[in-house]
Amino acid sequence: MIDLPKTPSFDLTGKRALVTGASSGIGLGCAVALAEAGAHVVCAARRVDVLQESVDAMAAQGWSVEALALDITDMKALTAAMKGQAAFDVVLNAAGLARHSPALETTPQDYDAVMDVNVKAAYFVSVGAAHGMIAAQKPGSIIHISSQMAHVGGIDRAVYCASKHAVEGMVKAMAVEWGKSGIRINTICPTFIRTPLTEPTFNNPERLAWIMDKIKLPRVGEVSDIMGAALFLASDASAMVTGTSMMIDGGWTAD
C-alpha cells in the first residue's frame, strides 16, 4: 500500500487573526478570507463608521469577527491594543499610505506620513505580534501587504517605493530572528488592484496605459486576487514559507 502524502490544511478554525486596514479594499478582502476559513478575526482600522459597517456585514454571514478602532501610527495605542489582546495566530497588516509626486517635489511632511504608516507602524505591528506569540509559546504567521513597487521603481513613487523596499528588508531580518520560535513572516506584493482608493489612477488614461503595458496578463488586479494568497500564508499550507515575497503582479516584475 502506497503511503500518499496529505495536503496541508487551509482551515483556520480555532485561530485568532488580526487584520489592520480592514475597513475596505485589500484589508477587508483579507479579513473576509480569514474569517471564511474559520478564524476569529479582529478587524482594525481608523475609520470607525466604515469599519463597523464592514464588520456587521461579515457577522451577518455567520463569521466570527469584531471591530477594533485603531490608528497604528499611534505607538501608545498600538502597544496597548496588542498587549490587551490574547496572542494572535495570524497578524495581517494591510494598512498603507501613498502620496505620489515627482521626487523633486516631495515634501518632508509627505515623506514622514508615508514612512510612519508603511515602515514604522509595520515594524511595530510585527514586533507586537511576535511578542504575543513568543509569550504564549505558540507559532504564528505575520503577513504584510507590500507592493510590486517593493521590487521595482515607478513614476512619481520614490517615497512609496522606498517604504516598501524597507518592508522587504525588515521582513527578511525578522524571519531570521524569529524562525526558531516558529514565527513566519512574509509579504504579499500586489500590482495595481482595483479599489475605491485606486480609481483615480485607473481613470487617468496615461497612467492606465502605463499599467496595462507593464502587466503581462490582460487585466488589472482585483481584491479577490489577493485573498487566496492571504489564506495560504495564514494557514499550515505555507508552513515552510518565511522571509519572502509572494508576487501577485500579473507578471509586472517578470522583465
Q: Exactly one of 6, 15, 83, 160 is catalytic; which is it?
A: 160
Active site residue 160: yes
- Residue 186, exposed/middle/buried by CB under 10 A (0-12, 13-18, 19+)? buried
Residue 231 is which amino acid? L
- Structural contact between residues 10 and 231, judged by C-beta atoms closer than 8 angstroms: yes
Q: What does the block give as the cell for 125?
A: 505591528
Phi, psi (5° rounding) for residue 92?
A: -120, 115
Dihedral sign (CA 74, 115, 24, 90): negative
Active site residue 164: yes
Q: Exactly one of 76, 138, 164, 216 is catalytic; which is it?
A: 164
- Residue 76, exposed/middle/buried by CB under 10 A (0-12, 13-18, 19+)? exposed
Compute the residue count for the chain. 255
Phi, psi (5° rounding) for residue 183?
A: -95, 125
How many C-beta neighbours within 10 Å does residue 176 have? 12
Q: Which residues contact 208 (CB under 8 A, 6 or more apart)?
A: 201, 202
Q: How many CA atoms does the CB half-sphere of 14 hold within 13 Å?
A: 3
Q: Provide the annotated active-site residues.
A: 160, 164
